[in-house]
Structures are given as C-alpha cells and as structure tokens.
Amino acid sequence: MAIDYRNECAVFSDVVGVEEADGLLEWLEINPGKPVVLEKCQHLHTAILQVLMMFKPPVSVFPANEELCNWLTELWPQNPGE
C-alpha cells in the first residue's frame, strides 16, 4: 500500500495510484485536520491530488523529491511555523 493510515497521520510513499483515491477520501472524511506525511512520496495520481486539494489537510513533511515538492508547495502556502 502506498498510503499507510496511522492514528494521527497518513504516510504516503512511492507512487500513489488512482486506486487509493477512495480510501484516502474516506480517511480524510473521518479524520479532518489530521496531517499527511509526503516525505517519501515520488508521485501522486491526479485523482489523489484533487482529493488532497479539496480537503487541504496539513502537510507535515513535504516530499523529498524536489520537483514534486515545487508543485505541492504552490498549493499549500508554507506554514511559517515550520
């Protein structure tokens, strides 16, 4: 599984495919405000991206992949506290 749903966060890794969209949507509905950890994520399918854009969960760690990070930081205004 490319998304590991833990108690306090969802941890993304590698390539998150379109088939994870339902699961993510469900988790975000049940766990509003809980952060996502994107550090190890290499790619998100567009379907995953739009679900994240809808719910705007806090991103606790942005992807290490610089290019992907550039895209996502545009969407998530950087938290000054971080």
Question: Of 23 and 35, which CB lies nearer to other proteins in the complex structure?
Answer: 23
Number of residues forming the site for other proteins (CB under 8 A) = 28
Distance between CA 41 and CA 30 in Å, rounded?
Answer: 22
Backbone torsion region of residue 56, taken as left when φ is above 0, otherwise alpha when ψ lies between -120 and 50, otherwise beta: left
Q: Which of residues 18-37 bind other proteins (CB under 8 A)?
A: 18-19, 21-22, 24-25, 29
Are the beta carbons of 52 and 36 closer than 8 angstroms?
A: yes
| Binding residues vs other proteins (CB under 8 A) | 17-19, 21-22, 24-25, 29, 43-51, 53-55, 67-68, 70-71, 74-77
